Amino acid sequence: LLLKSSCYLTVSVFLAAADPVHVLPGSLGRGSWCDEHDTIHERLDIIEEKVIKTVEHLESEVKSLLNIINETTSNIPIIPGTPLTDIFDGQY
């Protein structure tokens, strides 16, 4: 609602400044560019919602995978004297 009224105001001010003789108060409608602007914002809102839901889903999946890895590694018996290998050290 605020966006729509601000578009109307912008159109009114712009047109009044361009040709004050032919502009009658209250006769200005919303321009088609303003409708396109609203449509773009509605689409962006939908995309934002989908991105947020996707990120939340991925966070949940990563947490589950990390829990599985943690449970798996904590259950591996370590034989005394066996050197520990860091899988993240970059050496192959």
pLDDT tens per residue across span 46-56:
999 999 999 99
The residue extents of the domains of the chain are 31-72
Q: What's the rounded mean pLDDT across residues 52-73?
A: 93
**Cα-Cα-Cα-Cα dihedral of 66, 72, 75, 76, to 10°?**
-120
pLDDT tens per residue across span 16-51:
445 444 444 544 556 788 989 999 999 999 999 999
Binning pLDDT at 50, 70 and 90, where does residue 58 land? Answer: very high
Binning pLDDT at 50, 70 and 90, where does residue 9 land? Answer: very low
C-alpha angle 14/18/37, rounded to 5°?
A: 30
**pTM, to two decimals:** 0.48
